[in-house]
Structure 1
Amino acid sequence: GGAGNDTIAGGLGADSLDGGPGADLYMILLATEHPQAEIHDSGTGIDELRYADTQAGTLTLFAGDSGIERVVVGTGTAASANSTATTALNVNAAAVGNALWIVGNAGANTLTGTAFADTLQGGDGVDRLVGGAGNDVYWVDLDASGAMRDTVLESLNGGFDTLELQGDLVNTSVATLTLGANLEALDGSYTTINANNLPSLLVLNTAFPYLPVSPSTTLPGVGLLNLTGNALDNRLTGNAANNRLNGAAGNDTLAGSAGIDTLVGGAGNDVLVGGTGADCFVFDTAPNAQNNLDTVSDFTMNLDRLQFSRAAFTSLGSVNGLLSRSLFYAANDASRGHDADDRIIYNTSTGALY
C-alpha cells in the first residue's frame, strides 16, 4: 500500500501484505485465506485486520504477523463487514508478538489473546475470552438480571487483568457477580443500573481485588448501590447515588463519589474517600499498632459522621446512638486521653484519631 489508509485483501494463497504508513485495513474473508504469516505492516498507523467470514471457523494468527493493532470479527465483505451478525467466528492470536485489541461479533466467539497487554471485547454473543499473559482488559456483557454472559479464562500470575462490564441491569434488586480466578480488576463504569427504586447490589465474592462501579448514566429510580469487597486489596468506587461500600478484608480504597455514602473499611489498612455529600465512615474492626489503621481522606466537619461498632470498641458503652462528649478528647499533638473517661482521642494538628 501507499501512504494513505489502504484496504488490502490477499485472497487465497500465501501472500505478503504491507499497507505501509496510514491506518490500513486488511481483509480476510475466510480462515483458509491465512495459511501462514502474511501481514508485515511497516507503518505507524493503527492498523486493523478484519475477519469477515460467513461460515463458522477459527482464524489463527502467527508469530510473523506484525504491525497489526486491532482485530475485528465481522460477517460480510470489505470494510463494511457486519459485526452485529451471529456467525460463530473465533480468533487465536496466541503467537502474535505484540498486544492486540480483538473485537468479536454478536455470535458466540472464542477470542484468544497474546502474551502481551490485550483488550478482548466479545461483542453481544455468549463469548469465551482467553487473555494469557500480560495486563489484559476484558469487555464482558451483563444480561438484564445482572448475570455475566461471557466466560473469561485467565492464567495464574498472568498480569493485572481487568473486567469491564457492559449492559443494563433492569428491575434487579440483587445482582450477584461470581467471577473466575486470576483476575484483579472489575470496572462497572459502563453499566447502567435501573432498579425502579429497589436497591442494587454488586457483590465481589471471589478472587477480585478491584471493583469500581460508577454507572455512566444514572436513570430515575436508581436506589442504593451496595458494593462488597473480598480478602484482597480492593478498590470500590460508587456512583452518584447513595452507596454502601464495604471493603471486607485487605488494604482497600473506598471512594463514595456523590451521594450520602456509608463506607466500611473492614479489616486491613484502608483509605476511605467519601466524596461530596454527608457521608458516614464506619469502623467495625479494632485497630492495633500495625493493622486495621484506616485513613479518612476528606472528612468534613459538621457534615460527615464517624460510626464505631460496639462489638469492636467495647469501651464505648452498650447503648447505640451519639457518644457522650465526655468520651471524646481533642487537642494539639494529643495521642492519649487527659482523664479516665476519654475513649476517642483526636490530634488536631495531624488529624490522627486514637
Structure 2
Amino acid sequence: MRIIADWTANMLDFRAVTFVGGNIVIDADGGDDTIYGTDGAEKIYAGYGKDVVNAGGGDDAIVAGGGNDTVDGGEGSDTYLVSGNKAGGWSSFQDYDTYKDSGLAGTDTIKAVGIGNVDIGLAKFDASNGIDAIDGTGATGNVRLLGGWASDSFDFSKVTFAGNNITIDTDGGNDTVVGSAGNDKIYARSGNDTVNGGAGSDLIAGGEGKDTLAGGLDADHFRFDTALSKANNVDTITDFEAGVDHLDLAAAIFGKLGAPGTLAADKFVVGAKAVDANDHIIYNATTGVLSYDADGNGAGAQVAFAQLSAGLALTHNDFLIV
C-alpha cells in the first residue's frame, strides 16, 4: 500500500494508526512536510522540501529526498537510503541532512545505494546521534560524506564504516572532523580546519588553509596537494611520529622531488636552510618547520608548508611522492 501526499506542506501523523498487511510506503512528495510513522515497519519517502521525519517503531527504511531534512528512525533497526551525487545537479543530489536516531535498540545504518558515485550530504554529524554504521557497499562507485560551505562539525568516532569506498569530504568552511575507528580518508578542503583521524591508518589531506591535524592511533598519512603559501597554507601536525607516519607530497606541487615513491635521501636535509642544490625538503629540527625549496641553495626562497614538533628523528623515508 502506498500513501501519497500532495506538493503542499503536509502534516502526516500515523502514530495512532495500525496498518494491516506489509509493504507500507508513505510518500510525502513535495513541500516542507512533517511525518510521523507507526510502531510498525514502513518505507518513508520524504520527497522534496525541508522535511522532518520521525519513523516511530519498527525496522523502517527512510529516503530523505531533496532538501535539507531532519530524519529520526526511532526504535528498531532503521536504514536511511541515499542515492545520487552533487555532480548530477540538484535534481540528483539529496542535499545536506541531519540524522538523529532516538531509538535505544537495533542497528541504525545510513546506506548508499545505486549505480555510480553517491554523495551523502551532512548538515552535521554528532557522536551521540544514534547512527551505528555508514554502509558504502550498495553503491558501485565512490561514496562521499559531504559537508557544505559552512563550518561543519563531524564526529564519526562511534560509527562503523562498511566498504573501502567511503571518503569524508568537508568542502569549504572552518570544519572540525573526528574520524572513525577504521582506516579513514579525510579531505578537509578549504578553510582553517581541525581534523583528528582517530584510530586506524588514516589518510588526511588538510587542503587549503591553516589546518590543525592529528592522525590519532596507528600509522597515518598526511597529504599535501594544494598550492604552497607560507602566509595562508601551513598545516600543523600535532602527533607526527617519525618512522611510523608518512608525509605524502604531491608531485604536481613539489615538482623537484622526482618520480612517485620514497623521497630520495639527497633531496632531504635537516637544518635551517638548504645546503646544496638538491636539498628540496628542509626540516628545521629547532623550530619544527618543514619547508620546500625548489632550487635548493639557489636564490629562490624556501616555502614553509607544515609545522611539526621540534626534535623529531625525521629522515627521507618519512616522505612519499604521490
Q: Structures share a fold, TM > 0.5?
A: yes
- The alpha carbon displacement at 1:144 in A equals 4.5
With the length of structure 1 as denominator, give the TM-score of the two structures: 0.52
Which residue number in structure 1 is paired with residue 146 of structure 2?
204
Structure 1 unaligned blocks of 5 or more? 1-56, 59-72, 77-85, 89-101, 110-119, 132-136, 149-160
Q: Report which structure shows greater RCO (CA 8 Å, sep ≥6).
A: 2
CA gap 1:139/1:342 in 2 versus in 1, 3 angstroms: same
Distance 1:340 1:233 in 2: 38
Which residue number in structure 1 is paired with residue 98 of structure 2?
163
Which residue number in structure 2 is paired with residue 251 of structure 1?
192
Larger Rg: 1
Which residue number in structure 2 is paired with residue 50 of structure 1?
none
Residues 81-100 of structure 1 mapped to structure 2, 5 A cutoff = none
The answer on whether the counterparts of 1:223 and 1:241 sit within 8 Å (CA) in structure 2 is no
Distance 2:64 2:166 in 1: 28
The answer on whether the counterparts of 1:176 and 1:203 sit within 8 Å (CA) in structure 2 is yes
Q: Secondary structure at the match of 2:167?
A: strand
Residues 198-237 of structure 1 mapped to structure 2, 5 A cutoff = 201-204=143-146, 206-214=148-156, 216-218=158-160, 222-237=163-178
Q: Which of 118, 123, 131 pairs up with 2:54?
A: 123
2:246 is aligned with 1:305: yes
Which residue number in structure 2 is paired with residue 330 of structure 1?
270
- The alpha carbon displacement at 1:301 in A equals 1.4
Which residue number in structure 2 is paired with residue 283 of structure 1?
224
CA gap 1:251/1:162 in 2 versus in 1, 3 angstroms: farther
Distance 1:196 1:205 in 2: 21
The answer on whether the counterparts of 1:202 and 1:228 sit within 8 Å (CA) in structure 2 is yes
2:205 is aligned with 1:264: yes
2:113 is aligned with 1:176: no
The answer on whether the counterparts of 1:329 and 1:342 sit within 8 Å (CA) in structure 2 is yes
Distance 1:163 1:213 in 2: 13
2:313 is aligned with 1:344: no
Distance 2:268 2:227 in 1: 17
Which residue number in structure 2 is paired with residue 98 of structure 1?
none
With the length of structure 2 as denominator, give the TM-score of the two structures: 0.57
- The alpha carbon displacement at 1:231 in A equals 2.1
Q: Which of 220, 225, 239 pairs up with 2:180?
A: 239
Which residue number in structure 2 is paired with residue 146 of structure 1?
82
CA gap 1:162/1:143 in 2 versus in 1, 3 angstroms: closer
The answer on whether the counterparts of 1:243 and 1:256 sit within 8 Å (CA) in structure 2 is yes
CA deviation string 1:141-192 (max 9, x = no partner): 69543359xxxxxxxxxxxx9934554134758541246xxx5x34476241
The alignment covers a number of residue pairs equal to 235
- The alpha carbon displacement at 1:266 in A equals 1.1
The answer on whether the counterparts of 1:239 and 1:256 sit within 8 Å (CA) in structure 2 is yes
Distance 2:166 2:64 in 1: 28
- The alpha carbon displacement at 1:195 in A equals 4.3
Distance 2:143 2:248 in 1: 22
Structure 2 unaligned blocks of 5 or more? 1-9, 17-25, 29-33, 39-43, 56-61, 85-95, 102-107, 292-322
- The alpha carbon displacement at 1:307 in A equals 0.9
- The alpha carbon displacement at 1:330 in A equals 1.5
Distance 2:289 2:216 in 1: 20
